[in-house]
Structure 1
């Protein structure tokens, strides 16, 4: 239903691993306009994953222009804008000119995992301060690598021109009229340099990793007067900045403590709202929103190899049209081998950056691909079992993201977890959650269309494969 002429609209920017999107929602959470631009990912060396920062800026500028143009006269109803980006991706730039001095080093990048080993004795203290584990996926080792190996970055630091930090900070600097040098909590928290307790850069962590405080953005809340976004002769205040997974948590409104929220895209992430950051071994504690009145936390597990694992399988096994064939493959019956999934590094609750992926058993292409999908489900279940130790008991799972459109994946997740799985009809959870935050936590945030529910059913074959998979994982990991 089109919005009335006087109703507010909310412009949401979603910069993800493979695309930049702009989506415009009305005050009821109904999508009014959107545009998408795919972006490239390059892997110049093993464990290296990069993107072109200038391409990301240009892609966002293009989709903003197209989405606003499609609204016509209604573009004047846009009240404010927000941005959600890939967390843990880092970039360096010139604080005077805005020129990028490094590639965007992706959250998937693990080039500095050997360097991090020297801090193993401090891993417990790091977890207590940051809510994170000691991992090359987070920003500290990426930033230290840039300081040590990129001459342009070293020169900019000597000359007082260097800025470095989360991708969100770089994009805000480049897109907004005021050129702010700031970092929101969800993205700052993914650097291994930010304290959950002070909500600011931690001096002990900065010294530990050798990151100079003066090159980092200023820490601000999620809701903040970031600056003005200028497009199509419109000046739109940008008032919310967050991470993709943090924003996705709010896609259907305020998160419930009895629900685990699963977002499955390039990676898969499972989050549970908590009142205070718990110290749970193997899982992460994160700030997902902060303003002058409230701070909201989650307990989080991560599966690095979701969509990226399927792309790996296509290349490694010479498969074609996997995405188109997966729904039918997942519906077939037959033996499925086990896949130990360390694509992009083994995440929670195991945490091994250089874990070697392997297929146990063999089969036709459909069987091997189903094994990769089941490995995603198994890793989510391993996180869920760790999360279930907390009270109150979970009552359901809510799944979003591109891979959540696979009925066979959702069905397996429900059967294995023993919990009903609900999949909303609206796919763009990150952008819709951003719109909810922009609208100021409205009480009425209904779904335009009902989603689909998967009730758990007995699945002895899946349960047996999961038990065998856990035994294999326990054998080859340190946990």
Structure 2
């Protein structure tokens, strides 16, 4: 398989027959979103209106470089929120036509093929325990084949770690009963009771998937010591992944993809002149491109693949976004929700302080992503400061890293005309204003901040004009103090160009 690239999204959707998916006016679509902090279920109608919503928190276990989740808990939480959203619909639940699931892209686990029992925790994309497995490998070949910068956030090295360190995984391997791979496919298979498959978006974040061929790469598997027979079959994003049983209803699970990929469809068909930013546990900025290999320090990412065609993006990653605020709350032993409740007022207070009194933050929560790729850098402030000052510095560090990645993109792509933001942190007006001021671009925010779920709704329904809702727009304003802190931050971050 050698999928063709496409940046004209209208042609892409027509060519894959998405218009055939358009249902009657009463049709409803269930979007499941499994993120770092919880599982969500949202129901949308054909016009893009939200009709039901349910959420449930999940536990993330952090210890040093290790970040784990419990696979059974994730399955239970997704089933629970799906049932809750369906119950909210009452009799209208009979109009549910299909469902989709979006998850964090680089999470992996191991399981027993015979009964789908998990043999490992879910190892989060933030987990960096297996960095040593990358030493001595041919990083240039990995880069050329995958479009990714080799680092421990991706799945292959963690799969190798499981094979070497987990007795249950070793036993299943000896008994030829082992499977391993992306979390997304495992959750879909457990929810639907069907075969566990992998979608291309999630498979592409393992370092085992060839971005040019659109499938697992034998040479990469051999490089990491992973047998191809242990990996699930990789299929199209809309291949169909069984059905969900919700009460008396059987709902086809039509789509499986990554959360940061689905979010680009939240406001309709993605446009080449827009920079899309997803602000969740991490933050990701993406621009549509036709071909991989555009920039050596950024990522080539699969946005969607179906029927021999695909959409690609050039991507920059900020590892610490929502997780950076979690880190700050843990450091000060304060409630994270309380921190966010106070943050708008803190932004106003710090905005009025002299520049030299405002701290700067080297944001290395879960390591520094693009364009520096420093997996084990240590987070630090440049001076002693109060919690309110540190919270603002954390927020500005996310803005600074995003803008730095956009500057890298500007080396190979035309300047964008606007920025479109989604995700949990996008509700922070102060973040949006700072991003607009620093970039001198209008920042558009959709009314529905859960962009991944809304993007799934668009893909499931076939889209339409109703999905192009009027966003809140933050026009750029001159902020000389912010510009000065940006320059100071570049000097503070030792890897940044002068």
Same fold (TM over 0.5): yes
Task: Select the residue among 306, 315, 319 that pairs with 1:300.
Answer: 315
Higher alpha-carbon deviation: 31-40 or 65-74:
65-74
Question: Could you tell me whether the CA contact under 8 Å between 1:251 and 1:436 is conserved in 2?
Answer: yes
Instruction: Write out aligned runs for 1:57-456 (5 A).
Output: 57-119=75-137, 122-177=138-193, 179-292=194-307, 294-320=309-335, 321-332=338-349, 333-334=352-353, 335-440=357-462, 442-447=463-468, 450-456=470-476
Question: Could you tell me whether the CA contact under 8 Å between 2:382 and 2:492 is conserved in 1?
Answer: no
Find the aligned partners of 1:470 and 1:105 in 2 and give their Cα distance.
Answer: 32
Q: Say if 1:439 and 1:296 are closer, same or farther in 2 by CA, change over 3 A.
A: same
Question: Could you tell me whether the CA contact under 8 Å between 1:319 and 1:365 is conserved in 2?
Answer: no
Report runs of 4+ in structure 1 exceeding 3 Å deviation: 317-320, 445-448, 476-479
How many equivalent residue pairs?
469
Find the aligned partners of 1:445 and 1:134 in 2 and give their Cα distance.
Answer: 40
Find the aligned partners of 1:59 and 1:398 in 2 and give their Cα distance.
Answer: 29
Question: Could you tell me whether the CA contact under 8 Å between 1:6 and 1:77 is conserved in 2?
Answer: no
What is the TM-score with the length of structure 2 in the denominator? 0.91
Give 1:460 shift: 1.4
* Residues 18-62 of structure 1: per-residue CA shift (max 9 Å, x gap): 11111111111111111111100012x310000111100111111
Higher alpha-carbon deviation: 390-399 or 13-22:
390-399
* Residues 398-440 of structure 1: per-residue CA shift (max 9 Å, x gap): 1111111111111111111111111111111001101111112
Give 1:476 shift: 4.8
Question: Could you tell me whether the CA contact under 8 Å between 1:381 and 1:416 is conserved in 2?
Answer: yes
The secondary structure found in structure 2 opposite 1:218 is coil
The secondary structure found in structure 2 opposite 1:219 is coil
What is the TM-score with the length of structure 1 in the denominator? 0.95
Find the aligned partners of 2:88 and 2:481 in 1 and give their Cα distance.
Answer: 50
Question: Could you tell me whether the CA contact under 8 Å between 1:131 and 1:196 is conserved in 2?
Answer: yes
* Residues 158-215 of structure 1: per-residue CA shift (max 9 Å, x gap): 11111110011111221113x2121101100010000111100011110111111001
Question: Could you tell me whether the CA contact under 8 Å between 1:131 and 1:279 is conserved in 2?
Answer: no
Quote the residue 2:41 is aligned against.
22
Give 1:118 shift: 2.3
Give 1:363 shift: 2.3
Question: Could you tell me whether the CA contact under 8 Å between 1:5 and 1:74 is conserved in 2?
Answer: no
Quote the residue 2:28 is aligned against.
9
Quote the residue 1:42 is aligned against.
61
RMSD of aligned residue pairs (Cα, Å): 1.6
Quote the residue 2:8 is aligned against.
none
Find the aligned partners of 1:339 and 1:426 in 2 and give their Cα distance.
Answer: 30
Q: Which has the higher contact order (CA 8 A, sep 6+)?
A: 2
Find the aligned partners of 1:372 and 1:308 in 2 and give their Cα distance.
Answer: 10
Question: Could you tell me whether the CA contact under 8 Å between 1:257 and 1:392 is conserved in 2?
Answer: no
Give 1:311 shift: 1.3
* Residues 58-113 of structure 1: per-residue CA shift (max 9 Å, x gap): 11111111111221221111111111011100011111111111000001100011
Question: Could you tell me whether the CA contact under 8 Å between 1:271 and 1:301 is conserved in 2?
Answer: yes
Question: Could you tell me whether the CA contact under 8 Å between 1:5 and 1:77 is conserved in 2?
Answer: no
Find the aligned partners of 1:13 and 1:402 in 2 and give their Cα distance.
Answer: 15
Q: Which runs of 5+ in 2 are unaligned?
A: 1-22
Find the aligned partners of 1:436 and 1:293 in 2 and give their Cα distance.
Answer: 21
* Residues 259-318 of structure 1: per-residue CA shift (max 9 Å, x gap): 000111111111111122233111100111011153101111110111111111122234
Q: Which runs of 5+ in 1 are unaligned?
A: none
* Residues 360-404 of structure 1: per-residue CA shift (max 9 Å, x gap): 022222111111111111100110100112333211101111111
Give 1:149 shift: 0.4
Give 1:464 shift: 1.2
Question: Could you tell me whether the CA contact under 8 Å between 1:193 and 1:206 is conserved in 2?
Answer: yes
Task: Select the residue among 474, 480, 483 that pairs with 1:463.
Answer: 483
Question: Could you tell me whether the CA contact under 8 Å between 2:279 and 2:426 is conserved in 1?
Answer: yes
Find the aligned partners of 2:225 and 2:308 in 1 and give their Cα distance.
Answer: 34
Find the aligned partners of 2:144 and 2:316 in 1 and give their Cα distance.
Answer: 16
